[in-house]
A and B are shown apart, each in its own frame.
Chain A
Amino acid sequence: MNYYLTVANSYIFYFCGVLLFSLIALQAVLYIRLNYQEGLKIGLTKSQMSKALRSAAVNSIVPSLSIVVAFLAMVPVLGIPIPWIRLSFLGSAPYELMAAGIGAKAMGVNGLGGNGYTAEVFANSVWTMCLGSIWAIFMVSCFLGIIKKRYAKVGREDPRWRNTFVNAAFVGVFSIFIADPVSSGGLPLATLISGAVLMTGFAILIARFRTSWLKEFALTFSMLGAMLMSILLAKYFA
C-alpha cells in the first residue's frame, strides 16, 4: 500500500468525519424543529409536515446509493475517510474528482493514484477540494438573505406567475439530466424510458384509486423498477 494511503486512512480523519456528520445531523434537526413550529403557526397540519418528512427521507434512499457507488470508486485512490467527508460536505462525485484532478495537475501529475501520485500531490488534491468549496459557502452565508429579499419582492407582485416561474426553473434544471440519456441512447435511454413509463403508470393508479399513500413512494418504486429493467435489458445493449 502506498504510504499516503496509510496516512489517508488514519483514525484522525474518521474522527473529523464523525464531527462533520454530527454537525449535519444537528442542522437537520434544528431546521425540522424550527420549520415545524413555524408551519403550525401558519396553518400547516402535523400530518402534512410528517408526510413530507417521511416521503423525502424514503425517496432519498435509492438516489443516495449513487453516492455510495461514487464513494467506493474513490476509495482506492483517496482512502476511506476523505471521500466520505468530501462527499458529505457540499459534495458531489464529479466535483470532488475534478478538484482532486486539478490539485494533481497543478503539481504536474496527470491522473489520480498512479505513479508519481506522492503524499504531497495527494495533499494538494485535498487542499484543492476544500479550497473550491469556499466560494459557495461564502456567497450563501453572506448574500442569501439579500437575494431572498429581492426575490420575495418580485413574488409579492404576482404570486401566480411566481409559481409558474419556479416550476419552469425546476423543469429547466431537470431537462439537462433527462437530455443526457436521450442523446447517448442505449441502456441509459432504455432505463430513462422505463422510469417514465412506470411513473406514468403510478400516476394513473393514484388518480384512479385515490391512493394517496402511493404518492409518497411512487418515485422510489419507479426508480427501483427502472433499475431492475436496466439489469434485464443490459444484455441487449452490450
Chain B
Amino acid sequence: MMEIKPVSMDTSAYEKKVHLIGRVTLITGLLLTFLLPINLWLKFGILPPFKGLLNAFVSITSLMIPVSLVEILTFSTMMGASAMYIAYLTGNITNIKMPSAIIAMEVAEVEPSSKEGEIVSGIAMAGSVLACEIIIVLGVLLSVPLSVKLNNPVIQPAFQQILPALFGSLGAYYFLKDWKLSIIPLIIAILLSKFTKLPTAITIPICVFTSILVARVLYKKGLVE
C-alpha cells in the first residue's frame, strides 16, 4: 500500500520551484548559445548556404534525438531534478559532475535515492559547476602561457591520463562498496570496449541495463543489501 505523507504538499512547492528555475535557465542558456551563429550572421554577414545547414541539421538531429533520449532516461534515475537541470545546463556529466556528486553524498552520509540524496546531490552539482567554471575561465585567461606549459613533454602524460586516473579511483570506491554489483557489468564493458567500436550512446545503456539486471537478481537472492 502506498502511504500518503502529510509533507507531500510541502515538497511539491519545492519541486515546482526546482522545475521553474531549471526550465527558465535551460531555455535562456539555449538562446544565449545561439547568439554565436546569429552574431556571425548578422554582425559579420557569415551564413552557411542553406543546403549545407540543412544537411548538418539532419545529421546531428538523427544522432542527438536517440542519444539524448536514452541519456536523459538513464541519468534521471540516478540524479535529483535540480541536479539534472544543473547537469544539462553545463554538460560534462559523467566525467566531472556525477563522480563529485557521489563522493559528496558519501561525505554527507545520505543515500542517493532518498529525498536527502536528491537535495545533497543538487548542492553538490552546483558546487561542482562553480569550481569547474572557475577552472575553465582561468584556462581561458591563461590560454597562451598554459598551452606552452602543457606542451612540455615531461608533464604531458599526466594530462592525457586524467580520465583513467579518475575512473581508477572511482572504480575502486565502487568495488570496495559492493564488489558483487560491479564485477559483471565491468566484464561486459571490457568485452564491449575490446571487441566493438560502438559509441558510448549505445554502450552506456547496455551496461546500465545489465548492471541493473544483475543487481535485481542479487537483490532477490538477498546477496546485496
Contact A55 B77, beta carbon cutoff 8 Å:
no
Given contacts A42-B116, A65-B162, A102-B60, contact A194 B72 (CB under 8 A): no
Q: What 0/1 pattern do residues 1 to 19 of A give for CB contact below 8 A with B?
A: 0001001001011001101
Given contacts A106-B52, A162-B113, contact A140 B136 (CB under 8 A): no
CB of A126 to closest CB in B, whole Å: 5
Q: Is chain B's binding surface mostly helix, strand, loop or mixed?
A: helix
Contact A196 B169, beta carbon cutoff 8 Å:
yes
Contact B29 A89, beta carbon cutoff 8 Å:
yes
Question: What total count of A-B pairs have CB within 8 Å?
Answer: 569
Which chain A residues border B178 with CB–CB below 8 Å? 167
Given contacts A44-B120, A120-B47, A234-B157, contact A90 B89 (CB under 8 A): yes
Which chain A residues border B105 with CB–CB below 8 Å? 52
Q: How large is the interface on B (under 10, 10 to 19, 20 to 34, 35 or more residues)?
A: 35 or more
| Interface check A58, CB cutoff 8 A | yes
Contact B165 A103, beta carbon cutoff 8 Å:
no
Which single residue of chain B is at the shortest CB-CB distance from A4? B46
Which chain A residues border B176 with CB–CB below 8 Å? 199-200, 203
Which single residue of chain A is at the shortest CB-CB distance from B158? A227
| Interface check A80, CB cutoff 8 A | yes
Contact A31 B168, beta carbon cutoff 8 Å:
no
Q: What 0/1 pattern do residues 12 to 42 of B give for CB contact below 8 A with A?
A: 0011011101110111111011111101110
Distance in angstroms between the alpha carbons of A174 and B215 in the assembled complex: 15
Q: What 0/1 pattern do residues 141 to 174 of A give for CB contact below 8 A with B?
A: 1011101100100011101111111111111111
Which chain A residues border B71 with CB–CB below 8 Å? 136
Which chain A residues border B147 with CB–CB below 8 Å? 72, 75
**Residue contacts A-B, CB under 8 angstroms, 9 given:** A24-B29, A25-B130, A28-B127, A54-B127, A55-B103, A91-B92, A120-B46, A155-B113, A222-B169
Closest 8 CB pairs of A and B: A195-B168, A172-B211, A172-B208, A68-B139, A168-B215, A179-B189, A56-B124, A226-B165
